[in-house]
Structure 1
């Protein structure tokens, strides 16, 4: 059982809500179910029209932090207010290297909210702008901060320095979502990453009734943003190879994104218009319905040209919890979840022939699909229960808060 967190926790995210970040909503709901007060700070405006079905269950208030300021007088007034309100803030400002002007002003805003609302700790998701602002706000407010590093924030080659080294150094605690990430961060950053803890993202298993796939199911399902790292261009080539080999299969790709037009052209060039559907974004409930009727989920992740890659896609957790067997690739931490020939099949990243072989093998073997369905659900229950994993995260918050109160953070 997790220790009691001695006050509200402020969650800092770039945008809230965001359809692809179901794991954040799951985590907040688990904290609230355990009695922990959460306040959400969003740094940028909402850009999407589809959201998670469970969003309405979140009780935490959302404060949308202004990200555009008119004239120096407004900014100076905020600096003067934080100087007069928060002891030590002026000295903290002098120590905040690695932040740009917008980060600092938003950090001031959040620090003042923390002081007014009695927030005892800040937690950010992704080690980019949200953690930049969390680092600044925590220093100004005299509290600690932690962050969860995922994938893009670790591996992407950003044009501007994200100062991940400073964030790792100054955080009272750091979490990441796979053992693979832990090893990478420790290899890259050495002692500054020595405190990184692996806590998997999780699901509320009560929402995911296990249902083995129908022996007669024939469809392939893929879900995700239509961007390079999702590897849907590799999937379409695999489907072309399967059709050429006499094993055509219907496939639905759910999602939207910058690669939609390219994927549509690729489908047409391959002559797959009658069997491959780009369905666009769908509500979460409709995605789960599609999972219950499909034969296999394809998750053909690749490393993008800029280094961007997935960590542990939530869609894999959801599919395996529901009982849909999965074919995925050997990118980052995915093999920690989809264990080859145990809980699913792993194909070599970027290899359409290997992906086609794995999909064909599963489509041709109803008994194997049943075995992976059962084993996949057991794997999710063992290590990806959000109630258990959120409790571990609250233990991190409690320890970090105690450390800050002792003045050693």
Structure 2
């Protein structure tokens, strides 16, 4: 099948789960085009496993003659979507303006996909990618679907009824997300929403033995450095711990890095905490292997920005390492207290401190829990299985399938 996948940015360090799905779609024989709405992001790391996606990544410039020609030719049919955007987002002029700009780009993508004979369009995230897919559908009739994850649905529900309501199917990554959409978006029913978790290639990750107890107790954090990740909570817990010998590795970058480095210095942690910046997956895998515990101290950030189910928590359990995370969004569907991990309340330094010290004091019990976490990942978060489910849905709802059904 001919499948178009739409994202906002490419590459993006924190969205490796999307590129892993795309790689599986390619391996399964699908002809895939990966459209990124923003220009190529040369400041980001493109992981080695995802390098083949460079050949299928495409960006449509807003000021190109082809884009302007497509926009002019489709202006009559664009009037409907633009009117809906104005009605739904008119009170938020910046948001409405961005959606209008995305619509212009979508008109050019629509022309390319019609010429190509695309069977299906899949939008990764319910924000701008879903807007583009919705406009493309309005212009061409090509069926589309949307993956809903976290802040893309939690921050605002403007335009979601239209974008998700016209989709061939809607996928979310957690039962929490499905319940949220069903209760916040008119016309959507829980039974009509597919829950397919974000996934890791667990089959390619070897089952590791217990973490080494030689040397310092190693705390690992992997992810962006921004408020919703709760890294400040981790630093404060480490400053208060009685664990005699520990070190912490922070892999990632983001807008809070300078403040977090200053906080680590103020807390007297500079010699024990390493800010590693962005790391490719090979380096991150080495960190997982050396970890005694993986901390995922997510909180609800400004404007409701928060997690779905963080991929680092899934990856950590795939590597059979104890994971501490918080009772936010869909995280309890993965981190089940005393069964697959250690679940604490978001923002609680005291809770995180106790969990860290519990893992350090009882390494055999913590490892047994991590092994159970690995089994859950194999059952529900397998990349191979979940990519296959998505492809089956794409094929069922593709233009080719719908055309055959109409004959």
Match of 1:50 in 2: 45
SS at match of 1:133: helix
Q: Deviations over 1:256-291 (max 9, x none)?
A: 111011111111111111212222111211111011
Match of 1:165 among 161, 167, 170: 161
- 1:111-126 aligned at under 5 Å gives the runs 111-126=110-125
- Mean Cα deviation higher: 197-206 or 375-384: 197-206
How many residue pairs match? The answer is 388
SS at match of 1:237: helix
Match of 1:206 in 2: 203
- 1:241-390 aligned at under 5 Å gives the runs 241-242=240-241, 245=242, 247=244, 249-390=246-387
SS at match of 1:148: strand
Match of 2:60 among 65, 70, 76: 65
Match of 1:401 among 398, 402, 406: 398
Distance in 2 (alpha carbons) for counterparts of 1:333 and 1:310: 8
Distance in 2 (alpha carbons) for counterparts of 1:128 and 1:95: 15
Contact between 1:27 and 1:386, CA under 8 Å: does it hold in 2? yes
Contact between 1:8 and 1:37, CA under 8 Å: does it hold in 2? yes
- 1:170-185 aligned at under 5 Å gives the runs 170-185=166-181
Contact between 1:150 and 1:311, CA under 8 Å: does it hold in 2? yes
SS at match of 1:192: coil
Distance change >3 Å, CA 406–CA 95, structure 1 → 2: farther
Q: CA deviation at 1:180?
A: 0.6
Distance in 2 (alpha carbons) for counterparts of 1:74 and 1:288: 43
Structure 1 residue 94 corresponds to structure 2 residue 93: no
Distance in 2 (alpha carbons) for counterparts of 1:305 and 1:361: 31
Match of 2:89 in 1: none
Q: CA deviation at 1:93?
A: 4.1
What's the Cα RMSD here?
Answer: 2.2
Structure 1 residue 189 corresponds to structure 2 residue 181: no
Q: CA deviation at 1:206?
A: 3.2
Match of 1:14 among 8, 22, 28: 8
Match of 2:70 among 54, 66, 78: 78
Match of 1:3 in 2: none
Q: CA deviation at 1:51?
A: 2.1
Distance change >3 Å, CA 185–CA 248, structure 1 → 2: farther
Distance in 1 (alpha carbons) for counterparts of 2:141 and 2:243: 65
SS at match of 1:210: coil
Match of 2:33 among 30, 39, 42: 39
Q: Deviations over 1:190-242 (max 9, x none)?
A: 43244221101112223211213324151100011000010001111111121
SS at match of 2:221: strand
SS at match of 2:188: helix
SS at match of 1:250: strand
Distance in 2 (alpha carbons) for counterparts of 1:251 and 1:292: 14
- Mean Cα deviation higher: 74-83 or 207-216: 74-83
Distance in 1 (alpha carbons) for counterparts of 2:273 and 2:248: 5
Match of 2:149 in 1: 150
Distance in 1 (alpha carbons) for counterparts of 2:196 and 2:55: 22
TM-score under structure 2 length normalisation: 0.89
Q: CA deviation at 1:387?
A: 1.2
- 1:208-223 aligned at under 5 Å gives the runs 208-216=205-213, 218-223=217-222
SS at match of 2:185: helix
Contact between 1:213 and 1:294, CA under 8 Å: does it hold in 2? no
- Mean Cα deviation higher: 221-230 or 182-191: 182-191
Q: CA deviation at 1:248?
A: 5.5
Q: CA deviation at 1:46?
A: 3.1
Distance in 2 (alpha carbons) for counterparts of 1:347 and 1:36: 41
Higher relative contact order at CA 8 Å, sep ≥6: structure 1 or structure 2? 1
Q: CA deviation at 1:80?
A: 4.3
SS at match of 2:314: helix
TM-score under structure 1 length normalisation: 0.89
